[in-house]
């Protein structure tokens, strides 16, 4: 059983070593190609992924449903009278 574990560990090590070597070779090939052609190395990106798009998709759909199902009157702005004063308590009083 120990021999099987050692063989499995060695196989996993070799696979990870090959994956690492492939990634390293891909980056080196990009660098060499950029040097040969004289062009800058372009960045690898996810392809037009912008964080703002996710927020706009989520909150935009919320706004569109709220606009169709919303109340008749818009919310009034809050004034100073709306603020509630809070009295701090000591930690011993919480128990």
pTM: 0.43
Using alpha carbons, list the distances in angstroms from residue 50 to 35, 47, 58, 59, 63: 30, 9, 13, 15, 20
Measured between its terminal Cα atoms, the distance across the chain in Å is: 57
pLDDT tier for residue 11 given thresholds of 50, 70 and 90: very high
Mean pLDDT throughout 29-47? 84
Domain positions in the chain = 1-38
Instruction: Taking residues 10-28, report their average pLDDT.
Output: 97
At residue 6, the 3 state secondary structure works out as helix
Greater model confidence, 33 or 75:
33
The pLDDT mean for the chain works out to 79
Q: Return the pLDDT at 44.
A: 73
> Are 33 and 40 within 8 A, CB to CB?
no
Higher pLDDT, 64 or 42: 42
- How far are the Cα atoms of 48, 50, 52 from residue 19, in angstroms, in the given order? 27, 29, 33
What radius of gyration, in Å, describes the C-alpha atoms of the chain? 30
């Amino acid at each position: 059983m120990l021999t099987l574990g050692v063989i499995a560990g060695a196989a996993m090590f070799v696979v990870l070593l090959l994956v690492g070597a492939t990634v390293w070779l891909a980056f080196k090939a990009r660098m060499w190609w950029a040097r040969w052609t004289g062009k800058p190395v372009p960045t690898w990106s996810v392809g037009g992924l912008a964080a703002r798009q996710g927020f706009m998709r989520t909150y935009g759909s919320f706004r569109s449903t709220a606009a169709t199902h919303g109340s008749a009157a818009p919310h009034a702005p809050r004034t100073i009278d709306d603020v509630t004063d809070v009295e701090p308590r000591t930690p011993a009083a919480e128990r």
